């Protein structure tokens, strides 16, 4: 499978715990994007990387959210001190670094905070 | 700031009927890209079409066609002769930032249910 891979697919956590999600992009794609999708809504942009550089993080929802892409390949999204409002689907996408190239999305990680 | 509005929340049709999905966008930029994505029950967003703001030519690709009208800021999408497998949520999206490529603003989505 050469698509975008996200792990885990589902995560249930207790409020206050930290969680980390992983995204493996398509191998030749140097751009990687994180989105959040709540039930019944469209995806909401969070942050993106070009190679290992995080080019925008102002849309991260709070300082509890952070993302890394240390070697320009896979990326992690961490949420610290989770809250019930963090329950959502977290989507990762990757693309080549030209605007004309569409993004390919993974199947997402569904987070439930209880 | 950019905004995408999909006024239709759900559309139900019988197989072989045509389905048209409405999308209206707001942007201050003169250069932008518009997209349609499909999200089947599996959850993975699937790219369907992209249009840039300089090209208002409407096209047909298989059973898909689109109508881009810059004057009314609309980018409507039509599925011809719908099939049960077309049942999904369809999202219209806008990218203003050419450098950022796929930093997208999505609409709220339209759920399409195609009944046999």
- Chain B residues with CB under 8 Å of A56 CB are 100, 103
Decide if B103 and A48 are in contact by the 8 Å CB cutoff: yes
pLDDT in tens, A33-84: 999 999 999 999 999 999 999 988 777 888 999 999 998 899 999 999 999 9
For A6, name the nearest residue in chain B, comparing CA atoms only: B44
Q: Are A34 and A106 in contact, with CB atoms under 8 Å apart? A: no
Q: How many CB atoms lie within 10 A of CB B59?
A: 12
Distance between CA atoms of residues A108 and A101, nearest Å: 21
Check if A57 contacts B (Cβ < 8 Å).
no
Distance between CA atoms of residues B114 and B116, nearest Å: 7
Check if B90 contacts A (Cβ < 8 Å).
no
Residue A3 above 80 pLDDT? yes
Place of tokens 């080019």: A55
pLDDT in tens, B6-56: 999 999 999 999 999 999 999 988 888 899 999 998 888 999 988 888 877
Residue B107 above 70 pLDDT? yes
Q: In this predicted structure, what is the pLDDT of residue A72?
A: 84
Residue B85 above 60 pLDDT? yes
Decide if B106 and A33 are in contact by the 8 Å CB cutoff: no
| Rg of the Cα atoms in chain A | 13
Decide if B95 and A99 are in contact by the 8 Å CB cutoff: yes
Place of tokens 């999904």: B88
Residue B98 above 80 pLDDT? no
Distances (CA, A) of B107 to A47, A90, B9, B25: 18, 17, 10, 9
Q: Which residue has the higher pLDDT, A29 or B97?
A: A29
Decide if A103 and B104 are in contact by the 8 Å CB cutoff: yes
Pairing mode, strands A75-79 and A19-24: antiparallel
pLDDT in tens, A13-35: 999 999 999 999 999 898 999 99
Q: pLDDT category, A100, cuts 50, 70, 90?
A: low
Q: In this predicted structure, what is the pLDDT of residue B102?
A: 74
Residue A1 above 70 pLDDT? no
Q: In this predicted structure, what is the pLDDT of residue B42?
A: 85
């Amino acid at each position: 499978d050469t698509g975008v891979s996200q792990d885990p697919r589902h995560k249930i956590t207790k409020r206050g715990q930290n969680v980390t999600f992983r995204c493996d992009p398509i191998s030749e794609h140097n751009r990687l994007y994180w989105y959040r999708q709540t039930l019944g809504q469209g995806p909401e942009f969070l942050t993106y990387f070009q190679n290992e550089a995080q080019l925008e993080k102002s849309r991260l929802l709070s300082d509890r959210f952070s993302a890394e892409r240390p070697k320009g390949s896979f990326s992690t999204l961490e949420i610290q001190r989770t809250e019930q409002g963090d329950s959502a689907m977290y989507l990762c996408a990757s693309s080549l670094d030209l605007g004309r190239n569409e993004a390919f999305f993974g199947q997402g990680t569904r987070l439930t905070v209880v | 700031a950019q905004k995408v509005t999909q006024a239709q929340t759900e559309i139900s049709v019988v197989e072989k009927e045509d389905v048209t999905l409405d999308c209206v966008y707001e942007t201050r930029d003169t250069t932008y890209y518009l997209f349609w994505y499909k999200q089947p029950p599996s959850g993975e967003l699937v790219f369907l079409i992209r249009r840039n703001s300089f090209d208002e030519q409407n096209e047909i690709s298989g059973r898909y066609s689109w109508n881009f009208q810059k004057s009314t800021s609309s980018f409507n999408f039509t599925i011809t002769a719908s099939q049960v497998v077309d049942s999904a949520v369809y999202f219209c999206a806008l990218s203003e930032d050419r450098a950022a490529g796929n930093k997208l603003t999505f609409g709220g989505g339209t759920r399409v249910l195609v009944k046999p």
